[in-house]
């Protein structure tokens, strides 16, 4: 099976995560608990689906080093997204730095993920 086909479901779930995040941000403060919970669960589903497909994509022998480095970068972006999301959801004064990180991390993750897919083709 073509490797890019394997990542269709994770990509769709990632887009749902982005959509629910936009919905959550437009709902304003205080955060709507239902929307926030949906957003967190969809994000967790995206991570699980992506990790599952990544594990199977790396099961072949002799994977080059660059895709591994990019996968680690994507993982760091995911950790950053979870951490900044948790910190922003706390009832503390708004931090613009956290928001900037929370907006940049998915862009970096998408670019690194797309480059990884291209290299593993």
68-98: per-residue pLDDT in tens?
A: 999 999 999 999 999 998 888 887 777 789 9
Q: pTM for this one?
A: 0.83
List, for residues 10-54, the tens digit of each pLDDT value: 889 999 999 999 998 888 877 888 998 999 999 999 999 999 988
The two structure tokens encoding residue 74: 């994507």
Burial 80-90 (b: 16+ CB within 10 A, else e): bbbebbeebbe
Integer angstrom CA distances of residue 98 from 4, 58, 88, 116? 32, 32, 7, 26
Alpha helices (H) along 2-95: 3-6, 8-27, 33-57, 65-89
Q: Decide if 118 contacts 4 (C-beta within 8 A).
A: no
Coil, helix or strand at residue 120: helix
pLDDT number for residue 40? 92
SS (H, E, C) 98-113: HHHHHHHHHHHHHHHH
């Amino acid at each position: 099976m073509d490797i890019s086909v394997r990542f269709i479901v994770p990509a769709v779930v990632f887009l749902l995560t982005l959509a629910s995040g936009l919905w959550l941000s437009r709902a304003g403060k205080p955060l709507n608990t239902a929307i926030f919970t949906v957003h967190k669960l969809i994000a967790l589903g995206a991570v699980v689906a992506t990790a599952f497909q990544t594990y199977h994509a790396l099961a072949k022998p002799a994977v080059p080093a660059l895709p591994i480095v990019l996968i680690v970068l994507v993982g760091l972006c995911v950790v950053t997204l979870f951490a900044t999301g948790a910190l922003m959801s706390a009832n503390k004064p708004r931090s613009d730095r956290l928001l900037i990180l929370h907006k940049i991390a998915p862009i970096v993750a998408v670019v690194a993920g797309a480059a990884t897919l291209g290299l593993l083709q």
